[in-house]
Structure 1
């Protein structure tokens, strides 16, 4: 029996042993057998990775073109992908191919051992590449960082007035309270709710309280699509055109949840609005866990996601009742003394005159404590006589004609009356008709058609006049800043007053979405109308008359109107000069448009046009000077456009379906001054290359007056030579979006092969303000090989993906070079062979305006620049360096010692002061930089040989923001010698962020703490060895007093985390 058991057991063991042995040897055999499949799979995976890397780059280019910032996870992935494609993968494949050639038995057979290793390596690498491809499934590529407030009023509003500072403090405290999700801000019109909301956004972003902060305008009749678009812009979310509101809401919701901590600000709410319909998820947050109850996994997830909403409204009941806010804060009128202080700041030195002091105090008091009224009346009284001041006081005491806020109405009307020129008044009234964040270009198109501006002959002269007038109105507090220089906005109250004045005195009729009661005015009123502006979807009661009887009408705008326009609608307005029909179905187009013989501007943006009739109708408008078809889904430009010989501006921007422009249509437009085709047609034919169907760029050279051009072309071709304003994108990697800045001369150039440029391109390069260079194949030195002497006008330079570039400038041995005298921003990415930025001697004017340097994925770069060049960066405010695996220091001192003799001789008495204006320093993944003192030399260190030395003046006297990320070997931040003296160079530091600095054991000593008197925010994440933020035993810490510290939440292994605040 025992023997049987033993035999059975032995049999089982033998069976298990055989099975294990088979399993053990079967995998290697399989690997040997499938080695070629595994290598082929690796190559396929690498091809997919390169395709995905290129696709991500396109998305990044598009985001940067919209002034958006790239998500850090995207940058990290791109860096890893580049490293694997250009280094790891090449090395691995070369090694695999070499091993495959090895043989055994005198070369008669392949070596099975080598095959096994080869196959196993290919399988492992394919898995690694597959993991990279999985990581590339990003929720989003970029986000929009709102611009800083530009109005002086904001600074005065929150720095000097206790009433505003108190409310702001309460709101920020509520935002930090976990149990509060919805916060309301209310107050009467004109007290500054929008300014306050903007300041909350700025402060929340500055203090890094949220992952994202977005703001959207709601207005009286909410347009969900418009609100969603503003939120999308703030989040950097790109959604397809024409997407339904419900689908946009779902995508916004998913993005907000992905960001976890988000603040959404909805400004100017008049009634209930369903946040879920917009895409703002609150339900999960409002289901808070009862105290003491154990949270499950789902509730834990809800706690991680924390979306907060800040709402502003004129009516508290809308907030607490309709929107169920948990806290509401009143923004009241200014106190009398605050109104007087604001008035004095706006008016300036005039208020110091004795005869104006008493009147000024009364004017400030009569402004009703409304900041907008104080600012408006104050600006109007600058450099005015005592009689004007007395008249202003009288106006403020009179009631308004239509029951609106009397003080504000009087202030705005007084300011309007005192505008110096009639064209200023006309421009102001036109601005009041346009939407929020209106475009200067819209004013240009309307102004040309109406002939609003005197003594201007060209479109460019008109644009300059418009910009001057808009700036004047901003300075008068009648307009406010828009999203950039080319946009503007107007306060709702000022808009209401302006529309009231326009209706009473200037023959203007308006009907907007917020105007609940529609309907056309009486016939007697219609006969005197000069301007009609309707953006109401119901278009004045929903029906248009068969014929518009307005013999004096010169301007007509209709938008979002659904029914067809009656055929004879335009037959009674023969004097019309501007016709704007946007976002409408114009198929068929009313034939009565052909009767508008005096029409100068025709704007059909984003409308549906019929292919069969649009050309015939437009072709008969022989006096047309401006034709705008921006955003229309036309596939072919009507050939009749070529007959518009008076045309000065043709806008085909965003015509993404446009594939055909018949030959010689553009060439016949002899008066054309500006052609806009951004994000539009790019299939230009090349002269002499086969059968032509489309227009060629050569046609544009036949236009003698063309001075402004926006277009995209796939290959370098001859460009018109007399351009003064341009946005030209050459290559297939660009997205045709606007540039990142308000540049009037933008060139984006892709060079797949080494090209000798035509003279016209060289001229553009020399004039360009914003230059993007991509894939500079064959180029080793930008300045020398592009054959441009000094880039005199260049402000913004971007260079990406140049595989053979060694230096930006290499003119060693030449005399002093005056390159880049106006350069403000330098951005370099993925220049894998870049060894030096600059190798040349420069004149003092070179780089004298450089403000920002960003370097990413330049793995051969060991330092940014030599000390002699750094000493010229006197205006440098921001440095960002990431993913440079060989970067050892920011400034090269050692190698400079033998090459600076001529510079020392030229200026022995000068002490360069690099870094004095530096505000932000952000460094990430620089593995060879192991000590912070290698970033810059200690102040006063000698540079040069023993005979001729120059004492450095390098410091961080102005640094406010310092961020160090992914420094696993960094052992200390502050220099070993005289730590307290070193920290004095950071005395203005406000924000300090450390992430993944695994070897740091402490941040500060107690004696250093009090040198950082401005420090407001510390963030420490993933610092595994850090036990104390402030080093020292309890006795040493205690002598500084408990009141010096404010305890902060713990992070990771940090047991003692404090932040110091000023007393």
Structure 2
């Protein structure tokens, strides 16, 4: 009976998953188990004695056994009485550290798996309290939060993990209810949010907690909810569609979640569809269906559900056609997902921002849109108000663009200064436009368009995009009174536009003919009285502007770069409202003898000009005299805020900076090239994720000219190429290089060192150098022996992030005495083809090196270093941030500076297999640990 009572209690506890047996009852059960074993032993003893027979057993033995039985019976009886518990046998379970959520597997989805790994790394950093995860709706943020909740490493890191879905209709009460339930706090009868917040805070103040907040649509005051900032390394991770929420909630780090790759999306789609993927010939269609989902897990899931029901090839083909025809027809899965995504669009706080988003759908799917061009179109369309100055309008445009990016409606491209629109969001924008009365958009992709739209389509559209097609003909005179934007760029076969084509487009504001085959503009161009932006760049057959183009009195942007125009058209001087001009002198004077006179008194008439870009042909020096005349006029432009130009000589630069005041304006931007060179491209800019406002490229120069030093004092990026007459960069005056953030030195045969520390004294005080420098790239400098000579003063190189040394055959020392201590932010080090280097960190220059040097170094690349013998003499450095190493053609390097405990975040070692097998190891365990992350080339 006692055992049956115990079994009943255990069965009841197992049935109720939210409760467990009380401590008192657990103790009673343990005693029952113990006495059950004692009774079995006693019973076994009795049976054994009984088999011997009573004669052998004897009275004394029987009496002893009987007494034991009597005692055991009393004990059992007492336990039975104790088992009639007056209080509850079952009580609420203790607070479990993790309440699992059965997260979906994401190991095969590299983007999501990467995001989790990044978050885990940040959670291990004691200096980081709050982490923001953001990205467009449906991209997989919720799956990541569930995976974090269930992660085994996180269960070891925290006393408790609290996962709360905030949702759009959140309130303090809803969030507090969710948290108190998770903490099993009894707040029954308490109505004051402050009192509940106090109780939550008290419960968490001694715990190391992780709070996961999913679907955050608005700013939350965590203190108001009751979440304390304790000193126990507690953390908060929030997931949102809005980047601004990450900033407003003071996250220390933000992680942008990208869409799945095409391969990952297809794999997920196959898993969701299931057995129908085995249908004959279905794979090619399935890949196209998955591609239509644009890497959005939410949409992949919804569309896969629909295709699970399609059990033959014909149904799959029809389903693909429907997806491609959306939004003209309803498609199961797509409509549901779009409604979900529209939240971000509807949350935009004004119509102009909505118009800017819809305008971006004029460009083909996955098209990289140049930001400056997009902002110019927005301004020309009138979406940017209250900004008479072009610079102010561009700044306001950047704010709008950032808003669209921050709410995940646009995303930055991998190319700097470009954005793109996700395919699904573009479809959503086209769908919204189709229902609008004043934003009717007509877009034809290359797959759809061989002929221009019909008459009715021209008549009803507000904005038309026919770019990147094979149009060779346009209608004679379409009725387009409502048309404000016409995009025809890169229709290479379009060689002729009918003279009357623009006659009924009097409201047109943006006209883009870039890259078309036209040789002239039609006479009806003069009808475009409202035109604000005209793009003719890369029209290589266009050799002149028509006289009647002077009628474009409101034109603000004109781009005639890389056309066949080989002179400065005098007609440009008539555009008195022009704010932005881009032109080329690449063909100047070719095929004619008119020469310089066309440059006189044209630009000087553009009194409102704010932005000017003049490209030159590196192999055509005929432009020199013309450019000198142009520079004289440009120097007198008083509203100029952005200038990109090439100066033939330093003297020409000196003349300009002595006569022009606009370039010194703190708000101005410029890109100056000095000297003859092969390319106008700035290589150093490829290293930055943001745009540099002020750049100087000095090519084939000699000595140290005051004009160069003066400009250097104002620049962010500097390229010194093929220079003579300077043995070190600090010859240009150290004060003048302390603002620069990027520096490239290439082909300078006389440079021996970059900075001489002994010369850095002003007013008897030592001066730091390169205070702001983030990237230094040194290539093909044959006499370079060191980067720094002499003392390194505090603050020097404090921001250096990337250091690349290539083809420096005399270089023996990278880090001179005291230099390495300043490099707390160095993340990337690459050394290539430096034939004399024997040690990456020289022992003689870095004695007594602290273990925590180079705390931010993430990547180390060593290529073709035939004499290098060591990275560092031993394994004393922590290498706390190191993630990747690449080593190739370093045959004398026999040891790596690692042990079991350091370089704990190392993820990848890319080496040659034969070199790896020749390495020497202090312990085999180190080699085993590192071999697992090797990639053999």
- Provide TM-score, normalisation by structure 2: 0.60
Greater relative contact order (CA < 8 Å, ≥ 6 in sequence): 1
How many Å apart are 1:769 and its aligned residue? Answer: 1.6
CA distance in 2, matches of 1:891, 1:454: 56
Whether 1:766 and 2:718 are equivalent positions in the alignment is no
The alignment yields a C-alpha RMSD, in angstroms, of 4.7
- Conservation of the 8 A alpha-carbon contact between 2:831 and 2:861: yes
Contact 2:696 2:717 in 1 (8 A): yes
- The answer as to 2:491 corresponding to 1:549 is no
Change (3 A) 1:747 1:969: same
Question: Corresponding residue for 2:330?
Answer: 403
Aligned to 1:576: 508
Tell me the residue number matched to 2:676: 732
| Equivalent in 887, 896, 909 of residue 992 of structure 1 | 909
Encode CA deviations 1:885-940: one digit per residue, 9 max, x unaligned: 3323233453577xx9xxxxxxxxx968322221121223334432x2xx335466
Deviation of 1:849 after TM superposition, in Å, equals 1.6
By how many angstroms is 1:855 displaced?
1.1
Q: Does 1:695 align with 2:629?
A: yes
2:222 matched residue in structure 1: none
Q: CA deviation at 1:567?
A: 1.4
String of CA shifts for 1:804-835, please: whole Å, max 9, x gaps. 21221113163332322221111112222222
Match of 1:1045 in 2: none
Cα deviation code 1:245-273 (max 9, x no counterpart): xxxxxxxxxxxxxxxxxxxx9969xxxxx
SS of residue paired to 1:1012: helix
Unaligned runs of 5+ in 1: 1-159, 173-188, 197-264, 269-309, 343-363, 372-398, 901-909, 941-953, 976-980, 1021-1063
Tell me which structure has the larger Cα radius of gyration: 2
Aligned position for 2:548: 617
Q: Residues 320, 923 of structure 1: CA spacing in aligned structure 2 closer, same or farther, 3 A cutoff?
A: farther
Match of 1:132 in 2: none
| 1:932-959 residue CA offsets vs partner (Å, 9 max, x unmatched) | 2xx335466xxxxxxxxxxxxx432222
Distance in structure 1 (CA, Å) of the matches to 2:632 and 2:755: 33
The answer (yes or no) to whether the contact 1:333–1:368 under 8 Å persists in 2 is no
* Alignment of structure 1 residues 198-347 onto 2, 5 Å: none
Q: Distance in 2 between matches of 1:708 and 1:744?
A: 9
1:356 alignment counterpart: none
- Is 2:102 the partner of 1:165? no
- Indicate conservation of the 8 Å contact 2:137/2:341, yes or no: no
> Counterpart in 1 of 2:235?
none
Shift of 1:521: 7.5
Residues 1014 and 818 of structure 1: CA distance in aligned 2, closer, same or farther (over 3 Å): farther
Query: C-alpha displacement at 1:1014, in angstroms?
Result: 9.0
Q: 1:856 and 1:508, CA in 2 relative to 1: closer, same or farther beyond 3 A?
A: same
User: How far 1:443 sits from its partner (Å)?
Assistant: 1.0
Q: Is the 8 A contact 1:859 1:884 kept in 2?
A: yes
Which of 805, 812, 825 is equivalent to 2:758?
812
For residues 468 and 790 of structure 2, the distance between their equivalents in structure 1, rounded to whole angstroms, comes to 62
**Match of 1:753?**
702
Match of 1:712 in 2: 646
1:762 and 1:788 in contact (8 A); partners too:
no
Deviation at 1:726, TM superposition (A): 2.0
Aligned runs of 1:836-855 on 2, under 5 Å? 836-855=786-805
**SS of the counterpart of 2:336?**
helix
Alpha-carbon distance in 2 for matches of 1:624, 1:333: 40
Corresponding position of 2:747: 801
Residue from 779, 785, 806 that aligns with 1:856 = 806
Matched, 1:865 2:787: no
Q: How far, CA to CA, are the matches of 2:440 and 2:451 in structure 1? A: 15
Partner in structure 1 of residue 889 of structure 2: 966
Q: CA deviation at 1:327?
A: 11
Matched, 1:926 2:926: no
CA gap 1:621/1:840 in 2 versus in 1, 3 angstroms: farther
Per the TM alignment, residue 854 of structure 1 is displaced from its structure 2 partner at its CA by: 1.1
Residues 494 and 678 of structure 1: is their aligned pair in 2 closer, same or farther, counting only changes over 3 Å? Answer: same
Change (3 A) 1:885 1:563: closer
1:384-415 CA distance string (max 9 Å, x none): xxxxxxxxxxxxxxx98842421123234343
Q: Does 1:955 pair with 2:887?
A: no
Which residue of 837, 851, 854 maps to 1:915?
854
Given that 1:842 and 1:869 are in contact with CA atoms closer than 8 Å, whether structure 2 keeps it comes out as yes
Give me the whole-angstrom Cα distance separating, in 2, the residues matched to 1:319 and 1:439: 43
Write the distance in 2 (CA, Å) between the matches of 1:635 and 1:826: 38
Instruction: Look up the SS of the partner of 1:986 in the other structure.
Output: coil
Structure 1 stretch 634-643 or stretch 428-437: which is displaced more? Answer: 634-643
Displacement, 1:418?
1.8
Distance change in 2, residues 1:734/1:517 (3 Å): closer
Structure 2 gaps, min length 5: 1-101, 115-135, 144-259, 264-268, 306-325
SS of structure 1 residue aligned to 2:375: helix
Shift of 1:441: 1.7
Give the Cα separation in 2 of the matches to 1:734 and 1:855.
22
1:791 to 714, 733, 737: 737
CA contact (8 A) 1:857 1:883 kept: yes
Q: 1:317 to 1:637 in 2, by over 3 A?
A: farther
Q: Supply the distance in 2 between the matched residues of 1:755 and 1:583 (Cα, whole angstroms).
A: 42
**2:542 and 2:563 in contact (8 A); partners too:** no
CA separation of 1:998 and 1:938: change in aligned 2, threshold 3 A: closer
Report the Cα distance in structure 2 between the residues aligned to 1:735 and 1:520, rounded to whole angstroms.
39
1:421–1:192 distance in 2 versus 1, CA, 3 Å: closer
Give the Cα separation in 1 of the matches to 2:299 and 2:511.
45
Tell me what 1:782 maps to: 729
1:633 Cα deviation after fit:
2.8
* d(CA) in 2 for partners of 1:311, 1:765: 57
Structure 1 length-normalised TM: 0.53
Taking a change above 3 Å as real, the CA distance of residues 681 and 999 of structure 1, as seen in their structure-2 partners, is closer
CA gap 1:1017/1:570 in 2 versus in 1, 3 angstroms: same
Inter-partner Cα distance in structure 1 for 2:674 and 2:744: 15
SS in 2 for 1:894: coil
